[in-house]
Amino acid sequence: MYQEEKKQMIAAMICDQKLKPMKFRELAGFLSIPKQERGELSEILDALLREGVIAMDSEGRYVDDHAVHVSGEFFATGRGFGFVRPEGRGSDADIFIPEEKTMEAMHGDTVQVTVIKEAADAGAHGNRAEGEIVKILTRANETVVGTFFRDGSIAFVRPDNRKLDFDIFVSKEHTKGAAEGQKVVCRIKHFGTKKRNPDGIVTEILGNLGDPGIDVISVIRSYGIPTDFPQEVLAETESVPRKVTETETDGRLDLRDLPTVTIDGEDAKDLDDAITIEEHDGTFTLGVHIADVSHYVTDGSALDQEAQNRGTSVYFADRVIPMLPRELSNGICSLNEGEDRLALSCIMEVNGKGQVTDHKIAETLIRVNRRMSYTAVNGILTNRDESLINEYLELVPMFETMAKLSAIIRGRREERGAIDFDLPECKIVFAPDGEVSDIVPYERNVATRLIEDFMLLANETVAEHFYWLEVPFVYRNHEAPDPEKMLKLNIFLANFGYRIHNNGDTVHTKEVQKLLDKVAGTPEEAVISRLTLRSMKQAKYEPSCMGHFGLAARYYCHFTSPIRRYPDLQIHRIIKEYLHGKMSHARIVYYDSVLAGRASRASVCERRADEAEREVEKRKKAEYMHRFLGEIYDGVISGVTNWGVYVELPNTVEGMIRMTDLRDDFYRYEESQARLVGEHSGRIYALGQRIKVQVAAVDLYAATIDFVPVLG
Domain segments of the chain as ranges: 2-60, 66-138, 143-208, 231-479+540-615, 483-534, 629-709
C-alpha distances (whole Å) from 577 to each of 51, 86, 310, 438, 583 are: 41, 35, 24, 48, 6
Instruction: Answer whether residue 92 shows pLDDT above 70.
Output: no
- Residue 366 is predicted with a pLDDT of 98
Alpha-carbon gap, residue 226 to 43, rounded angstroms: 45
- Residue 639 is predicted with a pLDDT of 87
- Residue 41 is predicted with a pLDDT of 84
Alpha-carbon gap, residue 668 to 19, rounded angstroms: 56
Do domains 143-208 and 629-709 share one topology? The answer is yes
Domain over 629-709 is classified CATH 2.60.40.420: no
User: Which residues, at least 6 apart from 610, have a Cβ–Cβ distance to it below 8 Å?
Assistant: none
Contact 197, 232 (CB under 8 A): no
Averaged pLDDT, 242-264:
95
Nearest Cα to 525, choosing from 623, 637, 672, 405?
A: 637
3-state secondary structure of 52: coil
Question: pLDDT tens digits for 22-36?
Answer: 888 888 888 888 887
Instruction: Answer whether residue 419 shows pLDDT above 70.
Output: yes
Would you call 230 exposed, middle or buried from its count of C-beta atoms within 10 A (0-12, 13-18, 19+)? middle
Question: pLDDT tens digits for 504-525?
Answer: 667 889 999 999 889 888 877 8
Q: Residue 397: pLDDT band by 50, 70, 90 thresholds?
A: very high
- Residue 288 is predicted with a pLDDT of 98
User: Which residues, at least 6 apart from 586, have a Cβ–Cβ distance to it below 8 Å?
Assistant: none
Contact 595, 513 (CB under 8 A): no
Alpha-carbon gap, residue 508 to 500, rounded angstroms: 9
Averaged pLDDT, 297-309:
96
CA angle 286, 287, 290 (to 5 degrees): 145
| Share of residues in the chain with pLDDT > 90 (%) | 58
Largest CA distance in the chain: 99
Contact 257, 287 (CB under 8 A): no
Alpha-carbon gap, residue 669 to 40, rounded angstroms: 63
Phi and psi of 479, rounded to 5°? -75, 160
User: Which residues, at least 6 apart from 51, have a Cβ–Cβ distance to it below 8 Å?
Assistant: none
Instruction: Answer whether residue 96 shows pLDDT above 50.
Output: yes
Strands (E), 90-153: 95-97, 110-117, 129-138, 143-151
3-state secondary structure of 109: coil
Phi and psi of 648, rounded to 5°? -110, 135
Nearest Cα to 568, choosing from 579, 585, 552, 556?
A: 556
> Across-strand partners of 327?
none
Give 681-688 contacts, CB < 8 A, sequence gap 24+: 685/637, 685/640, 685/645, 685/657, 685/709, 686/495, 686/637, 686/640, 687/492, 687/495, 687/524, 687/527, 687/637, 687/638, 687/639, 687/640, 688/496, 688/522, 688/523, 688/524, 688/527, 688/528, 688/636, 688/637
Q: Residue 124: pLDDT band by 50, 70, 90 thresholds?
A: very low
Q: Which amino acid is at 117?
A: K
DSSP 651: T
Alpha-carbon gap, residue 455 to 406, rounded angstroms: 11
Q: Residue 99's CB: how many other CB atoms inside 10 A?
A: 11
Name the range with the highest mean pLDDT among 188-197, 492-501, 544-553: 544-553
Instruction: Answer whether residue 599 shows pLDDT above 90.
Output: yes
What pTM was computed for the model? 0.84
- Residue 1 is predicted with a pLDDT of 42
Name the range with the highest mean pLDDT among 81-85, 426-430, 484-488, 555-559: 555-559
- Residue 68 is predicted with a pLDDT of 63
Nearest Cα to 518, choosing from 529, 509, 531?
A: 529
Instruction: Answer whether residue 139 shows pLDDT above 50.
Output: yes
Instruction: Answer whether residue 286 shows pLDDT above 90.
Output: yes
- Residue 130 is predicted with a pLDDT of 83
- The overall average pLDDT reported for the chain is 89
Alpha-carbon gap, residue 143 to 221, rounded angstroms: 9
User: Topology of domain 143-208, per CATH?
Assistant: OB fold (Dihydrolipoamide Acetyltransferase, E2P) (2.40.50)
CATH for the 66-138 domain, from 2.40.50.140, 3.40.50.300, 1.10.490.10, 3.90.470.20: 2.40.50.140
**DSSP for 490-546?**
HHHHGGGT-----BTTB--HHHHHHHHHHHTTSTTHHHHHHHHHHTSPPPEEESS--
Q: Poorest-confidence range of 13-22, 132-141, 346-355? A: 13-22
Nearest Cα to 346, choosing from 461, 467, 476, 471?
A: 461
- Residue 529 is predicted with a pLDDT of 86
Residues in the chain: 712
**155-177 residues labelled b (16+ CB within 10 A) or e (exposed):** bbbbbbbebbebbbbbeeebbbe
Contact 506, 480 (CB under 8 A): yes
Q: Which residue has the higher pLDDT, 371 or 688?
A: 371
Q: Poorest-confidence range of 50-64, 203-217, 351-365? A: 50-64
Instruction: Answer whether residue 141 shows pLDDT above 90.
Output: no
- Residue 679 is predicted with a pLDDT of 92
Name the range with the highest mean pLDDT among 178-182, 570-574, 699-703: 570-574
Q: Residue 122: pLDDT band by 50, 70, 90 thresholds?
A: very low
Alpha-carbon gap, residue 181 to 699, rounded angstroms: 13
Contact 180, 148 (CB under 8 A): yes
Contact 457, 451 (CB under 8 A): no
Q: Could you tell me the end-to-end alpha-carbon distance of the chain, in angstroms, rounded to an integer? A: 84
